[in-house]
Chain A
Amino acid sequence: MSETKKFLYVNRKAPYGTIYALESLEVVLIGAAFEQDVALAFLDDGVYQLTKGQATDEVGMKNFSPTYRALGDYDVNKIYVEQESLDARGLSLDDLQALTYEDEDDDYAEKDSIKVVSAAELAKIMEQSDVILSF
């Protein structure tokens, strides 16, 4: 398996109401070990997965939102969030957790993993992928 493919994980569902967001994250973490070219897209209600301040104590479910912050350690640092989806939900980048990674090609400088992109830009990213996993 020397071939490297572009994997895109597409997240369009909000967390907690259904399990898709959590189980998608589990695939991303396992997939990181395969040394493929990995990117994540958050659009539609998927942008709610990245919001700050999630506290699940009272619903008794596992709060998996801190795990997104670990993605940088797994070399998963291409995280695309769609502008139109944020706008439609009255959200801005400030409402989302900061996700960062250390760039080993730049003296381990800490950089932002999240890139806000337009629907048109995201369409191109989708089309240029080799494998799309939708959750």
Chain B
Amino acid sequence: MSQLHTVNKSPLDRNALESAIRHATKGNAVLMIEDGVYGAMKGTQKSAMVSDAMGDISFYVMGPDLKARGIDEGRIIDGVKVVDYSGFVTLVAEHGITQSWL
């Protein structure tokens, strides 16, 4: 059963994204929401963590949270897909189980 992991913490503050990636198996998805969206940005100390994992895991980021924080989509790591709340619902429906990395 494929798993969706949601992360709502900046990777520069907490280890939630790192831990989620470590526990995501091939075919899982990680959705970055709230302060988690900073994890989707290019050029940070933590960006490589996401790009390196992208072969096995799909990454998504919450568009409304990016906009709220003034993050232009051009600054997002290539391959991370932007979704809205409907997209969030679809991801939850498509994956057998959702785990929130609080």
8 Å CB contacts to A: which residues of B26-72?
A: 28
Q: How far is the CA of A12 from the CA of B100 in the complex (A)?
A: 11
- In the complex, what residue of chain A is closest to B23 when comparing beta carbons? A123
Task: Tell me the nearest residue of chain B to A131, going by C-beta.
Answer: B97
Is the CB of A91 closer than 8 A to any CB of chain B?
no
Interface bin, chain B: 10 to 19
Contact with B along A11-51 (1 / 0, CB 8 A): 01100000000000000000000000000000110000000
Given that A126-B3, A127-B1 are contacting pairs, would A134 and B100 also be in contact in the complex, using a CB cutoff of 8 Å? Answer: yes
- For B23, B28, B99, the residue with the greatest tally of chain A CB atoms inside 10 Å of its CB is B23
Q: Which B residues lie within 8 Å of A127 (CB)?
A: 1-3, 25, 28, 97
The docked-state distance in angstroms from the alpha carbon of A131 to that of B97 is 7
From B2, B15, B25, B97, A124 is in contact (CB under 8 Å) with B25
| A interface, over-half SS | mixed
- Which single member of B3, B15, B19, B102 contacts A135 (CB below 8 Å)? B102
Q: How far is it, in angstroms, between the C-alpha of A96 and the C-alpha of B35 when the chains are bound?
A: 33
Nearest-neighbor residue (CB-CB) of B98 within chain A: A132
Q: Which residues of A contact B3 (CB under 8 A)?
A: 126-127
> Are B97 and A132 closer than 8 Å at their CB atoms?
yes
Give 29 pairs: A residue, B residue, CB < 8 Å, sorted on A.
A10-B99, A12-B19, A12-B101, A43-B23, A44-B19, A119-B22, A119-B23, A122-B23, A123-B22, A123-B23, A124-B25, A126-B3, A126-B23, A126-B99, A127-B1, A127-B2, A127-B3, A127-B25, A128-B1, A129-B97, A130-B97, A131-B97, A132-B97, A132-B98, A132-B99, A132-B100, A134-B99, A134-B100, A134-B102
